[in-house]
């Protein structure tokens, strides 16, 4: 009966109680994925940050552990965001011969640090194979910069360059990450630099993400262009980072599914905040608009097929507007292709939309998403979802322009109070939270469309809880 409150996500990681924020120190060691996270284990509001800890073997089920690092005293210094590495070659000389290489874990933090004037924080360190050295990015938050350092021993660090004042302006830059990715179906390797801004994000004025694609020579990051790329078109994806030390080179990322605008007041008890699913990231060259081809991140959520308890509906032929009830004890995963028929007159097409509503059993609360063909956008609207606050707002989230090649493919994972939406083979992604009123949970999909628009493929799987 724990982990079964009506607003409690059933697939997404949440702390047993009290306030959680950023994922930290994501690292694979000894066949286990470690997830640490910012946690105030004493209260359901931000403060007293320590490192909560959970582990997983399959990136789907999580086992909870006591906090891994706690502040020395109630007055701090608090254990804020940082990273963890495995010092396999004992470069730090912190380990003796008898420690097996995979047990040589090091955590980087900025507890003792002289640059705090500019809010020096959120170190992300990783092994740079080409030069057998460590590289670390640290946010100089209020200077809108990331400092890049190098080290041979994880102890003495030397600044090699800075990157910043790029992308979304925002008030502070936080939680940088930097990693290489192969461009799909090529030998080309590019580096991705992620930075988060808060507050002042373009979208909604709160917390938001920018990422840059470029080259990294071990010392300096050089972006290939000046585009502002957003990782997410929703409001609830922040401070995410990627795992270190994943054996097969896969790049696995987890975000914090919340926003500093309202994270401290959302109506969940006895915990607040959840994480996104684990996503495998890749780079692909795609038409991100009708006119524009570009490199972009692609998100592949972790395989959820082991959780399917029932395929509630599967159809590969045009579907009439319909309503489908689904079980409410877990989550649902749906793939939906929305198409418009080519014989539709362009005047009709210009106002065509398809609307998918996920509603409570009594229909009182709902969250809506869909496609507006005329504007070339996908949207999520939580205006009718129940709980609200001045900053949570009634604003809907809309994607940037998507190419309109007669079909839009959607995949949505809906988990009690959280939706992750993947668009067009997952090159657009949105994470949003929503809070139905007391006792109400998502229970039904309702689908409507305008003339000429139809769903021509739908698969709706009920998923069982991981808890």
**Which is nearest to 256 in space by CA: 60, 465, 24, 66?**
24
- Give the span between the Cα atoms of 280 and 303, in whole angstroms: 10
Q: Which stretches within 309-359 are classed as H helix?
A: 346-349
Q: How many CA atoms lie within 13 A of 174 on its CB side?
A: 23
Contact between 109 and ligand FRU by CB under 6 A: the answer reads no
Identify residues 146-205 at the interface with ligand FRU (CB under 6 A). 174-175
- Give the span between the Cα atoms of 167 and 176, in whole angstroms: 13
Contact between 274 and ligand FRU by CB under 6 A: the answer reads no
With CB under 6 A as the contact rule, the residue among 18, 81, 276, 449 that binds ligand FRU is: 81
Least CB distance to ligand FRU at residue 223 (A): 22
Beta carbon nearer to ligand FRU, 40 or 56: 40
Contact between 263 and ligand FRU by CB under 6 A: the answer reads no
Beta carbon nearer to ligand FRU, 22 or 368: 22
Beta carbon nearer to ligand FRU, 10 or 49: 49
Contact between 49 and ligand FRU by CB under 6 A: the answer reads yes
Confirm whether 72 is a catalytic residue.
no
Contact between 239 and ligand FRU by CB under 6 A: the answer reads yes
Those residues whose C-beta lies under 8 Å from the C-beta of residue 75, and which sit 6 or more positions away, are none
Least CB distance to ligand FRU at residue 397 (A): 20
**Which is nearest to 448 in space by CA: 376, 354, 368, 378?**
354
Beta carbon nearer to ligand FRU, 80 or 334: 80
Residue from 22, 236, 333, 415 carrying the catalytic annotation: 22
Contact between 236 and ligand FRU by CB under 6 A: the answer reads no
Least CB distance to ligand FRU at residue 255 (A): 11
Q: How many residues does the chain have?
A: 467
With CB under 6 A as the contact rule, the residue among 121, 299, 411, 426 that binds ligand FRU is: 121
Q: How many CA atoms lie within 13 A of 132 on its CB side?
A: 5
With CB under 6 A as the contact rule, the residue among 20, 27, 29, 80 that binds ligand FRU is: 80
**Which is nearest to 94 in space by CA: 140, 154, 168, 21?**
154
Beta carbon nearer to ligand FRU, 47 or 218: 47
- Give the span between the Cα atoms of 138 and 144, in whole angstroms: 11
CB 8 within 8 A of CB 20: no
* Number of continuous H segments (helices) and E segments (strands) in the chain: 1, 31
How many residues contact ligand FRU, by CB under 6 A? 12
- Six-digit token pair at 369? 């998403």
Q: Please identify every residue annotated as catalytic.
A: 22
Q: Which residues are near ligand FRU by CB under 6 A?
A: 21-22, 38, 49, 80-81, 121-122, 174-175, 238-239
């Amino acid at each position: 009966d724990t982990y079964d409150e009506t607003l409690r996500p059933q697939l997404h990681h949440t702390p047993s109680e009290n306030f959680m924020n950023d994922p930290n120190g994501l690292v694979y060691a000894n066949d286990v994925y470690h997830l640490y996270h910012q946690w105030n284990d004493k209260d359901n509001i931000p403060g007293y940050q320590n490192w909560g800890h959970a582990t997983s073997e399959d990136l789907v089920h999580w086992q909870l552990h006591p906090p891994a690092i706690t502040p020395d005293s109630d007055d701090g210094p608090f254990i804020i965001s940082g990273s963890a590495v495995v010092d396999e070659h004992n470069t730090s000389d912190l380990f003796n011969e008898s420690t097996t290489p995979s047990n040589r874990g090091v955590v980087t933090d900025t507890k003792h640090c002289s640059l705090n004037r500019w809010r020096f924080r959120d170190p992300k360190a990783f092994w740079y194979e080409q030069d057998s050295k460590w590289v670390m990015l640290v946010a100089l938050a209020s200077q809108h910069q990331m400092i890049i350092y190098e080290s041979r021993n994880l102890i003495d660090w030397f600044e090699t360059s800075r990157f910043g004042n790029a992308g979304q302006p925002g008030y502070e830059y936080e939680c940088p990450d930097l990693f290489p990715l192969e461009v799909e179906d090529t030998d080309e390797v590019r580096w991705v630099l992620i930075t988060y801004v808060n507050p002042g994000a373009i979208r909604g004025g709160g917390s938001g993400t920018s990422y840059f694609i470029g080259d990294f020579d071990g010392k300096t990051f050089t972006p290939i262009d000046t585009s502002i790329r957003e990782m997410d078109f929703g409001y609830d994806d922040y401070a995410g980072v990627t795992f270190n030390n994943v054996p097969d080179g896969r790049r696995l990322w987890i975000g914090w599914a919340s926003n500093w605008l309202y994270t401290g007041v959302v109506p969940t008890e006895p915990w607040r905040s959840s994480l996104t699913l684990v996503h495998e990231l890749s780079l692909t060259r795609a038409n991100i608009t009708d006119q524009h081809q570009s490199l972009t991140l692609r998100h592949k959520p972790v395989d959820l097929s082991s959780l399917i308890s029932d395929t509630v509906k599967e159809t590969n032929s045009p579907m009439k507007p319909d309503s489908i009830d689904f079980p409410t004890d877990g989550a649902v995963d749906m793939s939906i292709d929305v198409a418009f028929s080519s014989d539709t007159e362009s005047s009709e097409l210009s106002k065509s939309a398809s609307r998918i509503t996920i509603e409570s059993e009594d229909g009182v609360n709902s969250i809506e998403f869909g496609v507006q063909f005329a504007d070339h956008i996908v949207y999520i609207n939580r205006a009718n979802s129940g709980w609200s606050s001045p900053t949570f707002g009634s604003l809907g989230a809309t994607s940037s322009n998507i190419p309109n090649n007669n079909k839009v493919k959607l995949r949505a994972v809906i988990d009690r109070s959280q939706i992750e939406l993947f668009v067009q083979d997952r090159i657009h992604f949105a994470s949003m939270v929503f809070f139905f009123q007391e006792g109400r949970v998502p229970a039904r999909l309702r689908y409507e469309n305008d003339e000429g628009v139809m769903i021509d493929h739908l698969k709706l799987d009920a998923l069982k809880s991981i808890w």
